Amino acid sequence: MNKNKSKLEEKIIEGIYGEPELKREEKKRFLGEFEERVIRYLTYDQVMEPGIYPEILEAIRDPEAKELIIDRRVDLEAAHDYIKLASENDLPFRKIDSPELKGDIALVVVSDHAVEIGERKVLSRKERLRSRGISDKIIKNVGAKLCDQCWSQLARKAPEELVNYEKMSWLDKILGTECICKN
């Protein structure tokens, strides 16, 4: 507080503008949370992608995780898998609705205290998988059935992504289902 202002002036200013808030801009960006409490976060584009981000599953399962928060502007159908994962792991979920929120962060997994995390931001699936040498056909077809060769490639280079694909069964092969690598 400014030493030049009287207590009355400070109370009037507080009445007009509200109580001073620590790191207000930071909290607007991280869905009402302090950055140091965020374990991992996704942007709107990432939430809208089909499949789940393994980094968020890992964050949900983190013993430090206390809540999953989703911006109200996110289509709940797109966020359904994350909400389901939170529920399956007994992690509370809530939507936040505030006109003060800024930026493109749409989903956060948070703790109730500061956590030591190397990187809170999750790279886009495309960036991460390309850097590991996964073909664009696999990257662009989340949810596809993969032949043994594509499945093995994914298992070797990005095993955490297997949750987002299916391995072709012998029945698929008999019925003539082709892998995306053949198209």
Instruction: Of 11-15, 95-99, 133-137, give the range with the top mean pLDDT.
Output: 133-137
Q: Choose among 40, 166, 177: nearest CA to 110.
A: 40
Side chain identity at residue 169, one-letter code: S
Average pLDDT over residues 61-83: 93
pTM, 2 dp:
0.79
For residues 97 and 56, the model is more confident at 56
Query: Is the model's pLDDT at 178 over the cut of 60?
Result: yes
The confidence band for 103, taking pLDDT boundaries of 50, 70 and 90, is confident
Q: Which segments of the chain belong to CATH 3.30.1330.30?
A: 7-110
**Cα 160 to Cα 18, 55, 78, 157, distances in angstroms:** 46, 9, 20, 9
> Parallel, antiparallel, or unpaired for β 67-71 and 105-110?
antiparallel
Superfamily of 7-110 according to CATH = Ribosomal protein L30/S12 (3.30.1330.30)
pLDDT of residue 25: 72
For 105-118, how does the pLDDT look when each residue is reduced to its tens digit (9 = 90+)?
999 999 999 898 88
Q: What is the mean pLDDT of the chain?
A: 88
Q: How confident is the model at residue 57 (pLDDT cuts 50, 70, 90)?
A: very high
Contact yes or no for 141/50 (Cβ under 8 A): no
Range list of β-strands (E), the chain? 38-43, 67-71, 93-96, 105-110, 145-146, 166-167
- The total of other beta-carbon atoms located within 10 Å of residue 69's CB is 21
Burial (0-12, 13-18, 19+ Cβ within 10 Å), 55: buried
Residue 17 has pLDDT above 90, yes or no: no
pLDDT at 1 over 50: no
Give the pLDDT score at 110.
95
